[in-house]
Structure 1
Amino acid sequence: MNKLKKVLFFLFFSITCFYIQAQEIALRQGPQVVSPEVMNDNSVVFRVYSPDAKTVTLNGSWMEYGETVNLSKNGEGVWSVKVGPLQTTMYHYNLFVDGVRAIDPTNPEAFRDGYRYASMLIMPGADADIYKINPVPHGTLAQVWYESPTLNLNRRMYVYTPPGYETSNEKYPVLYLLHGGGGDEEAWTSLGRANYILDNLIAAGKAKPMIVVMTNGNAYQTSSLKNAPGVETITRETIGKYTGMFEQSLVKDVVPFVEKTYRVKANKDNRAIAGLSMGGGHTVTTTIEFPEVFGYVGVYSSGIDNPEAYPESKFINLKKSGVNKYWVACGKDDFVKEYSKLLRDMLDKVGLEYEFYESEGGHTWANWRTYLSMYAPMLF
């Protein structure tokens, strides 16, 4: 009996010590917070534990540019604010602790936008389902390195192959999807959710299975904002020599590499191109410089900034070569809407048929994700 008592005492003592240690750890870590917390009315509560901070603010993509809201601190050192209700879609946001930008430490969903990191929030509902990881067949997203003799660089791109690619002998059409200024080859999958959008559209039968190629549109970089050897900084004076080089590399290096490496339908009717902002400019330039390459053209939040740099004769050549679909999209509040108008004026002038979609909002990823989800079902 004494031995049993000793064993029981030892167990009780051990459990008590473990409980005390756990409490001490919890106290050192501070209160456990949940953030973001989506409420039943689609309002959202953001929280962060920062007992020594003097101010905490929040900026979200649902706000105006530069706008912030203040969080309030309780007695435990937890700052919080309730916003909304928010519409059903995908957002990104940052906290600013004493003016320092930070991601939400309790939200595992985060991504990189150029040099900036942000936390992600998908508001539940049918309108956001296309951006979510749903229980459907998923394609493969690969980071692929390729030689670019045009740029004299070894470069990286992201390649999405649709569900079933690895186990079939089928050949697929290809969409070349271009990012905007400040981004790189990760932009369309991190912020744009391109692979999930394609997964969901293909699963729903709304888009044909296709390969999507997303490369770095900055001709002076190898990958992920990493400049080429010998290129320390880019200035207004030095960037000029790279003008037009990406478009050359895309057609002369990327397309041949893809058509050699993957099972693709290697003809104009099975090649599409689309880009946002800077990538939209690349799309316009590429298609008029190489009118025989792409049968589908998508220009998002972009257009023509200087009509003299875009000869009418080249648009005429593009028209003569034949375009299956020319699709232009821009937001009502987008600061490049005049450029978009100049592009449409040129297309009207040469008689090249196109479709124009005008959305609400401005120069935002909320629009560009929508544009891709609308454009992909039009292809092939």
Structure 2
Amino acid sequence: MKKTILTLSILIMSVIMLHAQQNLDFSGAQGIISPQVNDNNTVTFKLDAPKAAEVFLQGDWMPAEGWVPGKVAMKKDEKGIWTYTSESLKSDLFMYNYIVDGLKITDPNNVYQIRDIANMFSIFITNGDQSSAYKVADVPHGTVSRTWYDSPGLKATRRLTVYTPPGYERSKESYPVLYLLHGVGGDEEAWISLGRTAQILDNLIAAGKAKPMLVVMTNGHTSNAAAPGESSKGLYKPIMMTPDVGSGNMESTFQDVVDFVEKTYRVKKNKADRAIAGLSMGGSHTLFISANLNNTFDYVGLFSAAYRLNRPDAKQVPAVYENYEKNLEKQRDNGYKLYWIGMGKTDFLYQSGVDFRKLLDDKKVKYTYRESEGGHTWSNWRLYLSEFVPLLFK
């Protein structure tokens, strides 16, 4: 009787498991490896789509068509597998999609994906020295957490992403802080995912090239409490130009972030132990915040910075913008250790960067300028972060 019950139980479990597995794909496509990074940094992509009429590969390493990455046609073999092998790529992290009969999709054989604004991309990392900074290495790791803070200035509770260095939880030591700000399309998730902040910091600290530090990554869109889907606004489609852009709200209330961090975390509270940096819109935020709080940060980093995002419908210029040049002069007179500017040679903000540096020259504000290849891209911003961090807190 017991044997009969056991046999029946096994049979029932087998039926349940078979039913549960109906959504899984056990076809030959599971054997496809895509992408495959080859030793010489050429990359092979494959897609099983035998009924497709045409398939294109679109990648951020290809020459752009306006704001849209370029694309290249893939070739189909007799088994219906579409294939393309790239030229040898530089050492970096790359994003790509397939376009199958006009429909853009991620690579179904690649589980590694990233969201950028409202779009999803598959990713891969090539070989080489620079890309090694973006890979998870066998070194001590920091902790990445999401936490909420009260902003009296904005009358809101908002979310931060915070990186604490290896050993923070077991230590009694206090650490310096880098405040790291995103661009117009980002949120508090952008630097940790697209920017590989945790990997860069882990690897630099382990190599002795950077001081252990906290990195605080804010949400610069003051009309959003948190990244899409992470607040009471629910599941909505993200947009770039939120109503707060150019309002001055983030810049004028940033002291709320500093106050929260210094009350909540074990950090040093001196000017020499605070740095602030940002990309694009976050670069604009950085230059205005650091001038407005002109005796707060000893280290300032502007990565492809927009000078200012103007609002044509603004009835009054926010004080944080209107008083900028006077605040900049105070920042200069109060002194600082590093004012670092990075810009790509083909960045659409290149000329505004030239104009901004002329203003700094006229005001006798000393800075370090780094010009790189390429344009307004995460490739450059990851590079700038990996070069900026080792210069901090010396």
Fold shared, TM-score > 0.5 on shorter chain: yes
Q: Is the 8 A contact 1:31 1:49 kept in 2?
A: no
**Distance in structure 1 (CA, Å) of the matches to 2:122 and 2:353:** 31
3-state SS of the aligned residue for 1:131? coil
Instruction: Report which stretch shifted further, 326-335 or 150-159.
Output: 150-159
SS at match of 2:133: helix
* Larger deviation, residues 353-362 vs 46-55: 46-55
Structure 1 residues 233-256: Cα deviation after superposition (integer angstroms, max 9, x where no partner): 9999982687111122321x2111
| Separation in 2, partners of 1:357, 1:243 | 29
Determine helix, strand or coil for the equivalent of 1:180: coil
1:96 aligns with: 99
Greater shift, 177-186 or 220-229, is seen at: 220-229
Q: Distance in 2 between matches of 1:237 and 1:160?
A: 27
Identity of aligned residues (%): 45
1:353 to 353, 358, 366: 366
Deviates more, 1:122-131 or 1:169-178: 122-131
Q: Distance in 2 between matches of 1:233 and 1:71?
A: 31
Residue 344 (structure 2) pairs with residue 331 (structure 1): yes
Q: Is 2:249 the counterpart of 1:245?
A: yes
What's 1:313 paired with? Answer: 326
Q: 1:298 aligns to what?
A: 301
Moved more, 50-59 or 309-318: 309-318
Q: Please give the alpha-carbon distance, in whole angstroms, between the structure 2 residues aligned to 1:337 and 1:26.
A: 48
Q: Shift of the alpha carbon at 1:309?
A: 5.2
Q: Is the 8 A contact 1:296 1:379 kept in 2?
A: yes
The answer to which of 208-217 and 343-352 deviates more is: 343-352
Aligned partners of 1:159 and 1:190: how far apart in 2? 13
Closer, same or farther: CA 156–135 of 1 in aligned 2, 3 Å: same
**CA shift digits 1:275-294 (9 cap, x unpaired):** 00000000011111111221
Residue in 2 aligned with 1:51? 50
Aligned equivalents of 1:200 and 1:266: distance in 2?
25
1:266 aligns with 2:261: no
Deviates more, 1:200-209 or 1:121-130: 121-130
Residues 368 and 237 (structure 1 numbering): CA distance in 2 closer, same or farther, change over 3 Å?
A: closer
Match of 2:340, SS state, is: strand
**Distance (Å, rounded) in 2 between the aligned partners of 1:254 and 1:273:** 12
Two-structure CA RMSD over aligned residues (Å)? 2.6
What letter matches 1:299 in structure 2?
A: L
Q: Which ranges in structure 2 are unaligned for 5 or more consecutive residues?
A: 1-20, 311-320
Cα distance, 1:29 vs structure 2: 5.6
| Distance (Å, rounded) in 1 between the aligned partners of 2:294 and 2:181 | 18
Residue identity opposite 2:342 in structure 1:
A
1:72 equivalent to 2:85? Answer: no
> 1:157 maps to what in 2?
160
Q: Does 1:254 align with 2:219?
A: no
* 2:219 counterpart of 1:224: no
Q: Distance between the aligned counterparts of 2:329 and 2:232, measured in 1?
A: 36
Contact 2:188/2:227 (<8 A) preserved: yes
Equivalent in the alignment of 1:362 = 375
What is the rounded CA distance, in whole Å, between the counterparts of 1:113 and 1:246 in structure 2? 21
**TM-score with structure 2 length normalisation?**
0.84
Amino acid of the structure 2 residue aligned with 1:41? N
Match of 1:134 in 2: 137
Counterpart residue number, 1:5: none
Which residue is equivalent to 2:288?
285
Are 1:303 and 1:341, in contact at CA under 8 Å, matched by a contact in 2? no
One-letter identity of the residue aligned with 2:363: V
Q: Match for 1:33: what amino acid?
A: I
Alpha-carbon spacing, 1:131–1:365, altered in 2? closer, same or farther (3 Å): same
SS at match of 1:239: coil
Query: Is contact 1:303–1:343 with CA below 8 Å preserved after alignment?
Result: no
2:4 paired residue number: none
Query: 1: distance between equivalents of 2:358 and 2:309?
Result: 13
Cα–Cα, structure 1 residues 220 and 179, in superposed 2: closer, same or farther, change >3 Å? same
Distance 2:334 2:132 in 1: 38
**Which stretch of the first structure deviates more once superposed, 190-199 or 102-111?**
102-111
Q: Which amino acid aligns with 1:75?
A: E
Residues 312-365 of structure 1, C-alpha deviation per residue, up to 9 Å, x if partnerless? 322111111211110011001101011211221111111111100000110000
- Partners of 1:220 and 1:242 within 8 A in 2: no
State the secondary structure of the residue aligned to 1:269. Answer: helix
Q: Deviation at 1:75?
A: 2.1
Gaps of 5+ in 1: 1-21
